[in-house]
């Protein structure tokens, strides 16, 4: 193991990308253990954007834009392995379906959404129309749904489809501006987004079509992730990870790493895969 | 390595501003872990996303990392807007182009540097009947199209004073008004 990287101790963690590093901060309950935040991976030549976590193999996956690629590494301070290195221009958001062992990503130059097996094989474009600035993407593995956000300044939107790209529909298009971050919590079936233009954090149950504001006055959210009643977002203005209590509707905590530079994607590294409907576990 | 027992066991980190570093045990490679603001890389030799330069002068003279300069023609919410070494803008918007998005794309005209205009670069849209060139060919600043004989207007859409009957590929004819009966 490298001296500048640290294997993740057991428990739930937040993983976030900052300045060529994937860092983690452990969660104790909902509390960020700020003094225990450390680098999981140091990739000094890279600009890491999207981060996703595979709870089955305990691997972190990320997108990188300097030499556009998608890579993975074990959170036990494993060596990075490139998964996809060709035909990428500007990969941004990345999401994992831990049940079907696939990953999805957006490319903001190619303006499309792709899927591939976690080893990079069986790669395929599933959405390639009506996308301008696709960024965030998340999965709902038990129900086989995919959600993504496009921050196109002329017509921002949040969309959904099945995991093969079929049954595509617009979920939200009104009162959006720069929906940078998107997260789906399978326990509550809530899809939440952080908007850097309206400065709001809002949620919807995709199957009900309701819409609820959690909090307004966010500064400059980029990535978001959920864990139980909390939502954590990365803030470009404060170079911080901010905790929002979804029930109380207020910011409950903030973690500012020493390094003062933009924090990009964030993901929750669960101690175990989320419980609930899991058709693979039944078989 | 402090355990060898020679005076040179501990050396200064090869990082700018005496920032910290770490040595990778297997390879002996030394990696800077706290580069100065705007810098990144094993030796802090690279600029962060949104900045460009060559802080250690690895390819020529040293240039500090400065913000991407794209004349306001890139989106602040976008990523990877310029090359981290050369500063060449990669995501010019509004039909601008160039190293720093400083001019209008071919087929468009205006002032790509005007920070107050709503639409900096407009389509040439030359009148197909009045131009002797292509409909998307015009002066990059004024937008003037190449007009046929005695045709005028920025987009060559009408006849000069004293001329009429704009014919595609030909131009306008001179009015032949009788000097006795005309008021002008």
- Would the CB atoms of B75 and A153 count as touching at under 8 Å? yes
Tens digit of each residue's pLDDT (9 = 90 or more) over A17-35: 998 899 999 999 899 998 8
A180/chain B closest Cα distance in angstroms? 9
Give, in degrees to the nearest 5, the angle at Cα A126 between A124 and A131: 125
Q: Which residue of A has its CA nearest to B39?
A: A19
Residue A281: pLDDT above 60?
Answer: no
Residue of A3, A45, A109 with shortest CB distance to B25:
A3
pLDDT value of position A3 = 57
- State the pLDDT at residue A37: 85
At A35, is the secondary structure helix, strand, or coil?
Answer: helix
CA distance A277 to A254: 32
pLDDT exceeds cutoff 90 at A258: no
Residue A282 pLDDT > 90: no
- Within a domain: A5: no
| Long-range contacts from A70-75, C-beta under 8 angstroms, 24+ separation | A70/A94, A70/A103, A70/A105, A70/A120, A72/A118, A73/A40, A73/A41, A75/A7, A75/A8, A75/A13, A75/A15, A75/A24, A75/A40, A75/A269
**Does residue B156 contact residue B134 with C-beta atoms inside 8 Å?**
no
Specify if A7 maps to a domain: no
The answer to whether the CB atoms of B33 and A260 lie below 8 A apart is no
Please give the tally of structural domains in chain A: 1
Res B118 pLDDT > 90:
no
B139 within domain boundaries: yes
A180 contacts B77? CB cut-off 8 A = yes
**What residue numbers bound the domain in which B161 lies?**
124-175
**At CB < 8 Å, which residues of chain B contact A?**
22-25, 31-35, 37-38, 40-42, 46, 48-50, 75, 77-80, 84, 91
**From chain A, which residues contact B within 8 Å (Cβ)?**
1-4, 19-20, 39, 42, 44-45, 47, 49, 65-66, 90, 92, 108-109, 133, 151, 153, 178, 180, 196, 258-262, 264
CATH number, residue B146: 2.10.25.10
**Domain, as residue range, for A51:** 12-282
Residue B171 lies in a domain: yes
Q: Is residue A272 part of a domain?
A: yes
pLDDT: is B31 or B95 the higher one? B95
Measured between beta carbons, the chain B residues lying within 8 angstroms of A263 are: none
> Cβ A42–B33 below 8 Å, yes or no?
yes
Contact residues, chain B, for A19 at CB < 8 Å: 35, 40, 48
What percentage of chain A has pLDDT greater than the value 90? Answer: 81
**Does the distance separating the beta carbons of B22 and A4 come in below 8 Å?**
yes
- Helices and strands: H and E segment counts in chain A: 1, 25
Interval A215-239 mean pLDDT: 96
CA A20 from centroid of its chain's CA atoms: 17
Mutate to test the interface with B, among A3, A38, A51, A152 (most CBs of B within 10 A): A3
- CB-nearest to B31 from A44, A258, A261 is A44
Q: Which of B25, B38, B79 sits opposite A2 (nearest CB)?
A: B25
Quickly list H helices, A75-205.
none
Q: Give domain status of residue B104, yes or no.
A: no
As a whole number, the mean pLDDT across chain B is: 89
**CA distance, residue B77 to nearest chain A CA (Å):** 8
Q: Tell me: the pLDDT tens digits for A105-158?
A: 999 999 999 999 999 999 999 999 999 999 999 999 999 999 999 999 999 999
CATH number of the domain encompassing residue A174: 2.120.10.30
* Cα–Cα nearest to A243, from A233, A257, A228: A233
The verdict on residue A2 lying in a domain is: no
> Cβ of A3 and B37 within 8 Å?
no
Q: What is the count of residue pairs from A and B with beta carbons less than 8 Å apart?
A: 67
Q: List chain B residues with CB under 8 Å of A261.
A: 37-38, 40, 48
Residue B181 pLDDT: 81
Work out the pLDDT band at B1, boundaries 50, 70, 90.
Answer: low
Nearest CA in chain B to A153: B75
Is the CB of B79 less than 8 angstroms away from the CB of A66?
Answer: no
- What ipTM describes this predicted complex? 0.89
Task: Give the gap in angstroms from C-alpha A200 to the nearest C-alpha of chain B.
Answer: 16
Residue A180 lies in a domain: yes
Q: Is A262's CB within 8 Å of B49's CB?
A: yes
Residue A272 has pLDDT above 90, yes or no: no
Per the structure block, which two tokens stand in for B46?
Answer: 């690279």
Q: Which helix (H) or strand (E) holds A149?
A: strand A145-150
C-alpha to C-alpha distance for B127 and B134, rounded to whole angstroms: 9
Q: Are strands A38-42 and A134-140 parallel, antiparallel or unpaired?
A: unpaired
Annotate A40-99 with DSSP letters as a single string.
EEE-TT--EEEEEEETTTTEEEEEETTTTEEEEEETTTPPPEEEE-SS-S-EEEEEEETT
Which of B65, B69, B12 is closest to B39 using CA atoms?
A: B65
Contact between residue A39 and residue A22 where contact means Cβ atoms under 8 Å apart:
yes
Is A11 or A203 the better-scoring residue by pLDDT? A203
Tell me which residue of B130, B125, B133, B126 sits closest to B172, measured CA to CA. B130
Number of domains in chain B: 1
CB-based contact A156:A178 (threshold 8 Å)? yes
d(CA B40, CA B56): 11
Examine the pLDDT at B48 and tell me if it is beyond 50: yes
**Position A271 pLDDT exceeds 80:** yes
């Amino acid at each position: 193991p490298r001296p500048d990287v640290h294997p993740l101790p057991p428990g739930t963690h937040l993983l976030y990308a900052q300045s060529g590093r994937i860092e983690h901060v452990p969660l104790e309950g909902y509390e960020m253990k700020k003094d225990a935040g450390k680098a999981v991976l140091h990739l000094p030549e890279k600009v890491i954007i999207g981060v996703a976590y595979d709870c089955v193999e305990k691997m972190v996956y990320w997108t990188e834009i300097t030499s556009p690629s998608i890579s993975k590494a074990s959170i036990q301070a494993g060596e990075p392995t490139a998964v996809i290195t060709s035909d990428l221009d500007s990969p941004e958001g990345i999401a994992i379906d831990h049940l079907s062992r696939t990953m999805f990503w957006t490319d903001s130059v190619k303006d499309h959404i792709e899927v591939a097996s976690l080893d990079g094989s069986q790669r395929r474009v599933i959405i390639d129309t009506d996308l301008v600035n696709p960024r965030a993407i998340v999965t709902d593995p038990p129900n086989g749904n995919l959600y993504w956000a496009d921050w196109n300044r002329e017509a921002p939107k949040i969309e959904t489809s099945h995991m093969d790209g079929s049954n595509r529909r617009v979920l939200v298009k009104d009162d959006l501006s720069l929906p940078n971050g998107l997260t789906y919590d399978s326990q509550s079936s809530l899809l939440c987004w952080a908007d850097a233009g309206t400065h709001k954090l809002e949620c919807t149950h995709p199957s009900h079509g309701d819409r609820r504001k959690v909090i307004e006055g966010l500064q400059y959210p980029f990535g978001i992730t959920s864990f139980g009643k909390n939502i954590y977002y990365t803030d470009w203005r404060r170079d911080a990870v901010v905790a929002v209590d979804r029930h109380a509707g207020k910011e409950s905590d903030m973690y500012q790493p020493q390094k003062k530079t933009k924090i990009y994607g964030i993901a929750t590294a669960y101690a175990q895969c989320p419980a609930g409907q899991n058709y693979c576990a039944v078989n | 390595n402090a355990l060898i027992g020679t005076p040179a066991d501990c050396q200064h980190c090869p990082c700018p501003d005496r920032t910290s570093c770490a040595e990778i045990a297997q390879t002996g490679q030394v990696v800077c872990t706290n580069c100065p603001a705007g810098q990144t890389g094993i030796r802090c030799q690279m600029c962060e996303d949104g900045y460009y330069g060559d802080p250690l002068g690895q390819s020529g003279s040293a240039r500090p990392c400065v913000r991407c300069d794209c004349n306001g023609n890139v989106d602040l919410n976008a990523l990877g807007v310029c090359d981290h070494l050369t500063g060449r803008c990669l995501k010019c918007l509004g039909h601008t182009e160039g190293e720093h998005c400083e001019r209008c794309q071919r087929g468009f005209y205006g002032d790509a540097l005007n920070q107050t205009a709503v639409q900096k670069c407009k389509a040439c849209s030359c009148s197909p009947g009045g131009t002797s060139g292509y409909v998307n060919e015009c002066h990059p600043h004024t937008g003037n199209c190449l007009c046929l004989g005695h045709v005028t207007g920025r987009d060559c859409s009408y006849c000069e004073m004293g001329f009429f009957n704009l014919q595609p590929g030909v131009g306008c004819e001179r009015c032949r008004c009788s000097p006795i009966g005309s008021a002008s």
